[in-house]
A = this chain, B = another copy of it.
């Protein structure tokens, strides 16, 4: 095993990075599920065995599908920056407890964000969870740049 993986902070980062990335990936199958159940497809070959009339009906957008897709997009916009900046943060040797606090709050905020988005919970539930996740990433970015800065 690489020495990096013997480091506690790096182990914690690895665990949370895998969890939030897998969570993000699951939005793909969820989009597929909503496309099937709502009958709303984007590609002609996906409704290939139907006749022309039925095809036209199925090649449409549906609010539920679009909602899951926006949630997926928001994950791409927030979880990937967390993974990038979190990796560099883990390499700057922060305290384990501080690092765990960052990772836990981020993972929690993103899981709640998905529930709030897909479940269409009233605002500001989704807005706040988005902001909390972003603040965690900004905090790690600040920590990295205050230790390592070579322009």
The CA-CA distance from A120 to B41 in the complex, in Å, is 14
Interface of A is mostly: helix
Q: Is A150 an interface residue (CB 8 A)?
A: yes
Q: How near does chain B come to A145, taking the closest CB pair, in angstroms? A: 6
A77 with B81: CB separation less than 8 A: no
Among B2, B5, B21, B66, the residue within 8 A (CB) of A84 is: B21
Collect the chain B residues with CB atoms within 8 Å of residue A67's CB. Answer: 43
21 contacts between A and B (CB under 8 A): A2-B10, A4-B91, A11-B149, A12-B150, A14-B144, A15-B148, A15-B149, A15-B150, A17-B88, A18-B141, A21-B84, A22-B138, A24-B81, A25-B138, A27-B77, A28-B78, A28-B130, A29-B134, A43-B126, A76-B80, A80-B80
